[in-house]
A and B are shown apart, each in its own frame.
Chain A
Amino acid sequence: MWLNQFLLLAAVLFAIGVYGVITRRNGVMVLMSIEMILNAVNINLVAFGAFNGTPVGSVFALFVIAVAAAEVGIGLAIVLLIYRNKRSIDFDEVDLLKG
C-alpha cells in the first residue's frame, strides 16, 4: 500500500472539516467539524509512524485524542453557557466581543 493513500484520505477529511467549520452555524456542529479535522491529523501521525516503523506516531495520536477530549468538554460547556444566556447557539448571532 502506498503511504499517499492514507495521506490523501486525511487531506480529504481535513478539507471537509474546514468546509463544515466555515458553513455550519450551529455551535455543536462547528465542534463536530473540528473533531473531524483532528482525526485527519491523527491518520497522518499514525501513517508516518507506520512508515518509519516506530510507535511514536501512535503515541502522539493518543496525545491528540486526549487533548481533543479536553477540548470537547470545554467547548460544549461554552456552547451551553451561550445557549443559557442567549437562548440560541447560532454562532452568527454571537457578537459579544464586537467593538
Chain B
Amino acid sequence: MTQLFAQAGSGDLMVAQNIFWWIFAAITVIAAIRVVTTENIVHSALNLVIVLAGVAVQFIFLGSEFAAVTQVLVYIGAIVVLFLFGIMLTRGSLGEETLAQSERRGMGALVALMLFGVMAVSLIDGFEDVTLGEDTRNLIEVETWEREGTDAGDAFLTRGSDTAAIGDTIFEQYIVPFEAISVLLLAALIGAIVIARKE
C-alpha cells in the first residue's frame, strides 16, 4: 500500500485528494440543506447521518483519525439513535411537520446568508493563501532506546498517527478539563433522568 502511494507520486495524490474533497464537501452541504428543509422529520435525521459522516471524512482529510472515529461512534452511533428515540417518543411529530410561514423562512435565509457573508469575507481576507502541509499528520517524538546500537534516550521526530499524540495531550496537559467534562457528563445524565422521569 505504501509503495503504491509512493509510485503514484505526491502530485497525483494531491490532485486525487482535492477531487475527493470537493465530492465529499458537496455531499455534506446538500445533505445539510436537506436536513433543514425536508418536512419529514425521520428523513431529516437520516440526512443528519450523512452530514455527520461527511464531517468525519473532513477529519480524515485533516489527518486526525481519532477524532473521525470518535465522531462516527459518538455522533452516528449514539446521538442519532437518541434523536430517533426522541422522534418516536414524541409521536405527534412523527411524519410530516408543518413548516414555518414563508415570511419567517425568508428572514431565516436572510440571517443565514448575512452570517455566511461576514464569515466568508473575513476568512478569505485573513487566510487567503494559507495552505495546509502536504502531510497533515502530527509530528510525534519517538524514542529509540529500545533499538540496538543507539544511545538510551535518543529521540527523533517522525510523522505518525495522531492517536498517541492526542492521548499524551489529554492526559498530561488537559487532565483537569478532561476530569471536569467527565463530571459534567455524569451530572447531565442524572439531570436527564430526573427531568424525564414520571412523577
Q: Which residues in A have some Cβ–Cβ distance to B below 8 Å? A: 1-9, 11-20, 22-29, 31-33, 35-36, 39, 42-43, 46-47, 49-51, 53-59, 61-63, 65-74, 76-81, 83, 87-89
- The distance in angstroms between the C-alpha atoms of A60 and B174, with both chains bound, is 9
> B residues engaging A (CB < 8 A)?
14, 17-18, 21, 25, 28-29, 32-33, 35-36, 41, 44-45, 48, 51-52, 55, 58-59, 61-64, 66-67, 70-71, 74-75, 78-79, 82-83, 85-87, 89-90, 92-93, 97-100, 104-105, 107-109, 111-113, 115-116, 119-120, 123-124, 127-133, 136, 138-139, 162, 165-166, 168-170, 173-174, 177-178, 181, 184-185, 187-189, 191-193, 195-196
Contacts of B48 in A (CB 8 A): 32, 35-36
Of the candidates B17, B82, B92, B130, which one forms a contact with A73 in the assembled complex, judged by CB atoms under 8 Å apart? B82
Contact B130–A77 (Cβ < 8 Å): no
Q: Is there contact, CB below 8 Å, between B64 and A87?
A: no
With beta carbons under 8 angstroms apart, the residue of B25, B33, B82, B93 that contacts A16 is B33
A19 vs B37: C-alpha distance in the bound complex, in angstroms? 10
CB pair A58 B104 closer than 8 Å: no
Contact of A81 among B32, B173, B195 (CB under 8 A): B195
Given contacts A22-B104, A33-B35, A73-B188, contact A63 B177 (CB under 8 A): yes
Interchain pairs with CB closer than 8 A, number: 250
Closest 7 CB pairs of A and B: A70-B188, A20-B36, A22-B108, A15-B116, A19-B112, A55-B165, A77-B195
- A79 and B90: CB pair below 8 A? yes
Q: Which of B17, B29, B104 has a CB less than 8 Å from the CB of A13? A: B29
Contact between B123 and A62, CB atoms less than 8 A apart? no
Complex: chain A residue closest to B119, CB-CB: A11
Complex: A54 Cα to B64 Cα, angstroms: 10
User: Which listed residue, B78, B100, B112, B123, touches A15 by the CB 8 Å rule?
Assistant: B112
| Assembly CA distance A36 to B62 (angstroms) | 19
Chain A residue at minimal CB-CB distance from B159: A53
CB <8 Å contact, B17 and A61: no
